[in-house]
Amino acid sequence: MTTSVSFEFFPPNTPVGVEKLKTVVQELGALAPQYFSVTYGAGGATRDKTLSAVMDIAAAGFEAAPHLSCVGSTREGIAGILSAYRAQHIRRVVALRGDLPSGTATAGEFRYASELVSFIRETQGPDWHIEVAAYPEVHPQQRYAAQDMRHFADKMKAGADGAITQFFFNADAYFHFVDEARKLGVTQPIVPGIMPFHNYGRIAQFAQRDGIDIPRWVQMKMEGFMDDAASIRAFGLDVITRLCERLIDGGAPGIHFYTLNQSALTLELCKRLGIGAKV
Ligand code: FAD
């Protein structure tokens, strides 16, 4: 049985980026993904671009899932966005709280993603598929892991169909998270989010910002390669392949790849993992 995959993009900013993404969608589409998701700038910064990217994906014949963050938003505003998606036959969404840029005055009418999940369920009914975010290494603004887990379980019980994790490099953190969630009665799939080493420096910055552990031996090897792009690529692929193998062998229900709108590394990883017959 082949592992199901989904791929995440950000909405491109330029006409060139838009065209490039269409090519990437075709390349990754050959792997028959469950869906492609497109991120959303908190406070609505990318509202139109996210919708446009989602429409391009749907027009290419694939299932598309816009991300939707609620912080800084009103119920009326969120309802308007959901109606626009409904009109375009979109029924899958990744529901998030988001983070407002510092200095933003209003928190809006939603405090947490769980409130957005409830709102979508109440206003859109049962035919929407709602994914939410999970943090195997604890949400960076949360001091206590147990509290974070309780909030996660509440979010799932508010009506989510599944969760996608923040990226991580430690399979045990994922397995522990899933075990703890099951103890709190969470039964929905929790899909690991995997970040290939597209660019080590950038990924290390993301990891530091979001409290994600890159094992020391991986850091030391990567930093030791200096500007040797071929070694960074080869080692990064080996590390991520091994991580995915452990996750799949351990029962992960699928893999969600953070593609950063690029196909090469994700295609190579899927090939190594035997995902997608046509590649
Ligand atoms: P929540 O689930 O609401 O949790 C946020 C914090 O509040 C946590 O610390 C939690 O423990 C705490 N909390 C929750 N409920 C309560 C409660 N009742 N009382 C007290 N505390 C509570 N950001 C974007 O802006 N756009 C995107 O497209 C985007 N996509 C993402 C996709 C994935 C798969 C992931 C993992 C993250 C994504 N993010 C995105 C980042 C996300 O918006 C941030 O991590 C944000 O800080 C939290 O969002 P959340 O939905 O996880 O929030």
pLDDT in tens, 28-69: 999 999 999 999 997 777 889 999 999 999 999 999 999 999
pLDDT tens-digit map of 194-239:
999 999 999 999 999 999 999 999 999 999 999 999 999 999 999 9
Percent share of the chain, pLDDT over 90: 91
Give me the catalytic one of 8, 131, 137, 180: 8
What DSSP line would sit under the chain, residue for residue?
Answer: -PPPEEEEE---SSHHHHHHHHHHHHHHHTT--SEEEE---GGGTTHHHHHHHHHHHHHTT--EEEEEE-TT--HHHHHHHHHHHHHTT--EEEEE---PPTT-----S--SHHHHHHHHHHHH-TT-EEEEEE-TT--TT-S-HHHHHHHHHHHHHTT-SEEEEEE-S-HHHHHHHHHHHHHTT--S-EEEEE---SSHHHHHHHHHHTT-PPPHHHHHHHHHTTT-HHHHHHHHHHHHHHHHHHHHHTT-S-EEEE-TT--HHHHHHHHHHT--TT-
pLDDT tens-digit map of 162-202:
999 999 999 999 999 999 999 999 999 999 999 999 999 99
Atom of ligand 1 nearest to the CA of 141: 9
Let me know if 8 is a catalytic residue: yes
Residues with CB under 6 A from ligand 1: 39-40, 42, 67, 69, 94, 96-99, 112-114, 133, 139, 141-142, 148, 151, 155, 164, 166, 193
Q: What is the pTM of this model?
A: 0.97
Atom of ligand 1 nearest to the CA of 152: 2
Which residue is closest in CA terms to ligand 1's atom 7? 112
